[in-house]
Structure 1
């Protein structure tokens, strides 16, 4: 390859005899040289001279060279600039406030970005989170956003959420569970768009869309549907100029390819999904002249430095992490759930019926260890499919519902369900009066929805019914942290986890570069074990 020789920067990069320490020096170059003793040595100083001509005194044969790779250089710099981040790292929105205000703050202050888990929350709860995060960002600004969850059964609720975000000045959302564009998400995207000096659209509001299907990605990579723009214009919700400029925008600034995640998921393999969505992005760019290129990130299954490195190697512009963060102390769940997650293995998860898309057969990935929720939720969906109404259920099914599921009479459960929907969405009650099967669905959804709240609250009387959204990544994280300080739940903090994943990804990427050039390098040097913040922070800055 060439030669290595001491250079003028020697003092800036002190030599180390520890090859592991050299690999961890992410801001220093790596030189693999053939030492005077005939053995390979890793050095972090000097200079490389490419070519076969001996280049002076004290030169040593150069076996491999790897440039510095600070963690902020992983992924896309366009993505970092667009959202004001230091690192290409997103704390994904987990519903019911599991991605809490504290988690969003810490993610932003650590150099990434967090999205508050607004799904399943009342507008009042979301307003409270907005106020908390805005106040926290006044003295020490940090980027943050909110989840915008599609509500297929409640377009009015979805529009109310859009209006809340617009009126509150929330300019970044993570759009999830959408299968088509709706007036609410189009309104959010287009409201406030202006033109630059060349007449190109400048959107005020940014959308990071989370999708697991190419056809949905294509909808977010396309401009808003003309029909919806005309509808919003006729309703006075958009100006003519906003509608005109909005037609020149892609619906999303960025797309997250959601692979095998916790909660709602299509269990897509990341190795197939990310390249397919990147190809869809490239096709959209070829067909339209957008001002900015949408970035494509990867979420679902990212829980270790190796999986993070694989995501970036596959071409991810950023990574989105979810399940592992639920086990962190800043998450908005209970200590009981955090302990349960810490005992989770990769095979301790399963798919079962979802509360928010129950009638459509929607499914979520949940923890199955130490809880019977998955089995009971699936039983409810089976009853819903097989019987037209509550009155048609056999006696043993009624006993099962009253003794195991509701732990009260069906009449009592319906009364609490009725009160819930009277506050959240009264139109559902009107449908239930007209449709006995919808009445049954609301009752069953009541259990499914409460099961996640019991877990968040740590209700000891309903532990067997805890609904804990979780993917197999949680088991991978537990295996990686075994016998380290991160095995302890109290040590699992989002900054520590994020820095380990990013620094680990950079370290493993550099090791791969070395191995390609010098295959004989010992494999054990490619192991990255959990590090504490005292070690990580100098690597990150």
Structure 2
């Protein structure tokens, strides 16, 4: 009789060491005895003696996260810092040399705030930093886009190049300017292997994906040609331009203190990372631009979230405002240490007043946001100052300007000799911007009796930071130092960041 075998059943039994008799046939008894004796002899020779059971081998897990291992290793190496963390430049002298020195000595990248400073003041600050830190320290300068005053950008770039500053932070840019390109390409060259090298690093803060696109690609060819024709860059620097992205690092900046597009970091950061990856595939010779996260980084949990989202580094601003090293006045710091997360709002941004730019500022205890909004509405709705109702003009002059409109405008004209006479609407914008800029200077100086006019650029991150630091005994600003806040934030973030995050 023929027996049919189920191959699946045979395979299953064979896998357990059971082979059907129908497959192998009968086995002679003598052969079985010899096989067993042979197996027993081998077992006696080769078996491991009985003893204590060995501990099971457990695969090693990922190393525990620490503050110094968060984020990008390349970021730490290229900037010569201990942490993947940067302190952004702050406008109007709020981020002074003392703050930069404190952070740089702690191995933390920081940027000198230059917005609102004169060329002489910037040069003096850079001399101070050079004397106190030396050229190799991890610090740079901030360059804020000034669409209505392009000479201010040239002043910053000239001072930075003269002082040998290696790092630049670009803020609020809506287009690439000649000043940016000139800094980026200074000393750039094409290497023997065909790649390009730029000795000066550029970190760009972007608030929208279209802003990120500006810095992920090379410098606009028309600007490179123009600068080469003017003799502002060399032939070698121009040849390197098509092989370099405009920035080495991008910081996707959510809703933050100062100029903001009111973005949400968990939406913005992944979008910029994906955009970077697309550019990297299309432009492989330029290398990989790092992407960090900023805006709302005021607690260990917020920093951890940014790293989990894929940030190569984090960047802070508002939390550094309320520290001993900050350049803002003690009166302003007293106000800042009491803020909660809901104590800031939006107001017109002086540098982008006519474009409708907005800035995050303190609202608790001050009237600046409401007053600046009123001025913007007056400018938007009236063709000239004379067209504004007389009662409104008197109120603004007496309470806001504490001077007449005509007297303020006369001083502005005297400060810009040779400039063409603007039209009536532009004159309004110039005077209203003067009020916004002056409100920041009042906060920096801490002028008594003018507290209601203080403009303090600040985001909700500081309110969250205040809550966190009160639990650590650092509720008072006199006890806060920028480097210690940074370390505490990263040390608190490290345990919350999983092994697969950056």
Q: TM-score, normalised by structure 1?
A: 0.80
Root-mean-square deviation (CA, aligned residues, Å) is 2.1
CA deviations over 1:510-535 (Å, ceiling 9, x no partner): 6x99xxxxxxxxxxxxxxxxxxxxxx
Of 413, 431, 435 in structure 1, the residue corresponding to residue 423 of structure 2 is 435
**Does 2:90 match 1:94?**
yes
| Distance of 1:509 and 1:137 partners within structure 2 | 33
Is this contact kept in 2: 1:201–1:249, CA < 8 A? yes
Of 114, 117, 124 in structure 1, the residue corresponding to residue 120 of structure 2 is 124
**Does 2:110 match 1:114?**
yes
Number of the residue aligned with 1:76: 72
| Distance of 2:448 and 2:103 partners within structure 1 | 30
The secondary structure found in structure 1 opposite 2:345 is: strand
Number of the residue aligned with 1:406: 401
**Does 2:449 match 1:461?**
yes
The structure with the largest alpha-carbon Rg is 2
**Does 2:133 match 1:137?**
yes
Query: CA offset at residue 58 of structure 1?
Result: 9.3
| Distance of 1:56 and 1:226 partners within structure 2 | 74
Where do residues 179-328 of structure 1 align in structure 2 (5 Å cutoff)? 179-328=174-323
The secondary structure found in structure 2 opposite 1:487 is: coil
Is this contact kept in 2: 1:355–1:448, CA < 8 A? yes
CA deviations over 1:449-504 (Å, ceiling 9, x no partner): 00000001000121000000011111111111234311111111112101111101
Long gaps (5+) in structure 1: 1-54, 514-541
The number of residue pairs the alignment matches comes to: 450
For the structure 1 residues 306 and 182, does the alpha-carbon distance in structure 2 shift closer, same or farther, using more than 3 Å as the test? same
Number of the residue aligned with 2:438: 450
Query: CA offset at residue 338 of structure 1?
Result: 1.0
Of 363, 384, 388 in structure 1, the residue corresponding to residue 383 of structure 2 is 388
For the structure 1 residues 125 and 282, does the alpha-carbon distance in structure 2 shift closer, same or farther, using more than 3 Å as the test? same
Is this contact kept in 2: 1:250–1:290, CA < 8 A? no
| Distance of 1:340 and 1:378 partners within structure 2 | 22
Query: CA offset at residue 289 of structure 1?
Result: 2.1
Long gaps (5+) in structure 2: 1-50
Query: CA offset at residue 100 of structure 1?
Result: 1.3
Number of the residue aligned with 1:377: 372
Query: CA offset at residue 211 of structure 1?
Result: 0.3
Number of the residue aligned with 1:11: none
Query: CA offset at residue 128 of structure 1?
Result: 0.8
Where do residues 415-434 of structure 1 align in structure 2 (5 Å cutoff)? 415-419=410-414, 421-422=415-416, 426=417, 429-430=419-420, 433-434=421-422
Number of the residue aligned with 1:169: 164
Is this contact kept in 1: 2:66–2:495, CA < 8 A? no
Relative contact order, CA 8 A, sep 6+: which one is greater? Answer: 2
Where do residues 2-81 of structure 1 align in structure 2 (5 Å cutoff)? 67-81=63-77
Between 1:229-238 and 1:326-335, the stretch displaced more is 229-238
Q: TM-score, normalised by structure 2?
A: 0.86
The secondary structure found in structure 1 opposite 2:351 is: coil
For the structure 1 residues 144 and 56, does the alpha-carbon distance in structure 2 shift closer, same or farther, using more than 3 Å as the test? farther
